[in-house]
Amino acid sequence: MKIVQKTVSVFVLLAITMVVRLAGDNTVLVTTVGDSSVLTCPIKENTTMLTWTINFKAGGPCTLVYRNDTKMTHRTNCSDNIDWKFRAGLAPALEIQHVGIAQEGTYSCEVASRDGNFRTTYHLTVLAPPRLRLFCDERGSPVCEAAAGKPPAQLSWVPESCSRAEEKYHDNGTVTVLSKFTACSTNGTNVTTCMVSHPAGNWSQSIASCPSEKTNFLLYACIIACVLVIITLLAVIYYFKLRSDRLCHKTKPPEIGPIHSQQDDTMEVEPYTTFVQKENVIYNSVLDLTVGQNLPQELCRET
Ligand SMILES: *[C@@H]1O[C@H](CO)[C@@H](O)[C@H](O)[C@H]1NC(C)=O
Ligand SMILES: *[C@@H]1O[C@H](CO)[C@@H](O)[C@H](O)[C@H]1NC(C)=O
Ligand SMILES: *[C@@H]1O[C@H](CO)[C@@H](O)[C@H](O)[C@H]1NC(C)=O
Ligand SMILES: *[C@@H]1O[C@H](CO)[C@@H](O)[C@H](O)[C@H]1NC(C)=O
Ligand SMILES: *[C@@H]1O[C@H](CO)[C@@H](O)[C@H](O)[C@H]1NC(C)=O
Ligand SMILES: *[C@@H]1O[C@H](CO)[C@@H](O)[C@H](O)[C@H]1NC(C)=O
Ligand SMILES: *[C@@H]1O[C@H](CO)[C@@H](O)[C@H](O)[C@H]1NC(C)=O
């Protein structure tokens, strides 16, 4: 019985090793958006045909075939930036120019030779370095942004921040990470540093203290004060213009004055009241005149 068990377990072990060996053919390739990659296939002696089959993570497959006897190539549904690369003295390779996130997927190469068919597989992963920005928001807090990174960038602050970062996922597989600095302790430091770590590279930038809300408040107060001053000035100017218009009416009497000449005598007795009375008289008389004789109303425009 024991012997049987041992043989079974040996078989199981062998099977596992086989699977691991097969999986070992799968090489993981990592590249960055915009770079170029060249994938090669281990060539056997007397190769008759080379075939690349690409299964993209998103979208249909694409194939490229090279026949060694006729030196002919053939491609199906491959984008323009994926093609054969022929180099003197070397077997044809596959080249991906200006790699994009869309080119992520499994790249399998099959060599057909007299000894049989051999397959090699690569898993292509494309990194997108984030666009980085450190700025002050309107409330006076430093904000660190790592836009459109793949995978998402890790953000950290010096001194430590007590707020969590927000992540926004884009359709093309990239992620924008936004972190607002919130001081954990009241220990005053004037400089805050944002540190970004990403497989495509590390980055750090410091910012001197942001203009605080207090400064902003002062700024707004200043703006409001300026507006008030301007309004007051306009009001004063308008007032003086009105007054000058009235004075203008007052200097007009010659035409109308003589009609009510008796009233002028009272001026010596009570100057203020007569002034008011006279004003009313002038308005009344002007009205009378315009109604009666159709005189132009803009008596003052000429002076
Ligand atoms: C390759 O082909 C040549 C003849 O064309 C033959 O002599 C040679 O043995 C072959 N090699 C292998 C590995 O099959
Ligand atoms: C391709 O074919 C030529 C002959 O046409 C041969 O000399 C060459 O070795 C072959 N290439 C490979 C990789 O087998
Ligand atoms: C290639 O793409 C066309 C449509 O663009 C599709 O009809 C065809 O089935 C595809 N061929 C292969 C081999 O995927
Ligand atoms: C992915 O999408 C985001 C938002 O639409 C864009 O800003 C970014 O440039 C894109 N990245 C790539 C590599 O296409
Ligand atoms: C505040 O800063 C001082 C030195 O500047 C340091 O000794 C102390 O531990 C800090 N306190 C906190 C809570 O970080
Ligand atoms: C912060 O800046 C002020 C002057 O603006 C300075 O007096 C103070 O010492 C600075 N504090 C630190 C922790 O650097
Ligand atoms: C980024 O920094 C980490 C340690 O913080 C390091 O392990 C990693 O190799 C760095 N990456 C690059 C691309 O420099």
pLDDT digits 0-9 by tens, 106-129: 999 999 998 899 999 999 999 999
pLDDT at residue 288 tops 90: no
pLDDT at position 273, please? Answer: 47
Question: Average pLDDT, whole number, for the chain?
Answer: 79
Please, which residues bridge with residue 32 across strands?
Answer: 127
Domains of the chain, residue spans: 2-127, 131-210
Cα(36)–Cα(51) distance, rounded to whole angstroms? 20
pLDDT at 142: 92
The hierarchical CATH code for the domain 131-210 is: 2.60.40.10
pLDDT of 295 reads 42
Question: How many angstroms separate the alpha carbon of residue 173 from the centre of ligand 7?
Answer: 22
Give the residues across from 126 on adjacent strands.
Answer: 31
The amino acid that residue 17 corresponds to is T
Lining ligand 1 with CB less than 6 A are 45-46, 114
Residue 287, pLDDT score: 45
Q: What is the mean pLDDT of residues 232-247?
A: 86
Lowest mean pLDDT among 41-55, 137-151, 284-298: 284-298
Q: Which atom of ligand 4 is nearest to the CA of 128?
A: 13
Q: CA distances (Å), 210 to each of 184, 222, 237, in order?
A: 17, 19, 41
Q: Which atom of ligand 4 is nearest to the CA of 174?
A: 1
Q: How confident is the model at residue 257 (pLDDT cuts 50, 70, 90)?
A: very low
How far apart are the CA of 170 and the centre of ligand 2, in A? 47
Residue-wise pLDDT for 128-175, tens only, equals 999 999 999 988 889 999 999 999 999 999 888 988 999 999 999 999
How far apart (Å, rounded) are the C-alpha atoms in residues 127 and 261? 100
Domain 2-127 and domain 131-210, same fold? Reply is: yes
The correct answer on CATH 2.60.40.10 for the domain covering 2-127 is: yes
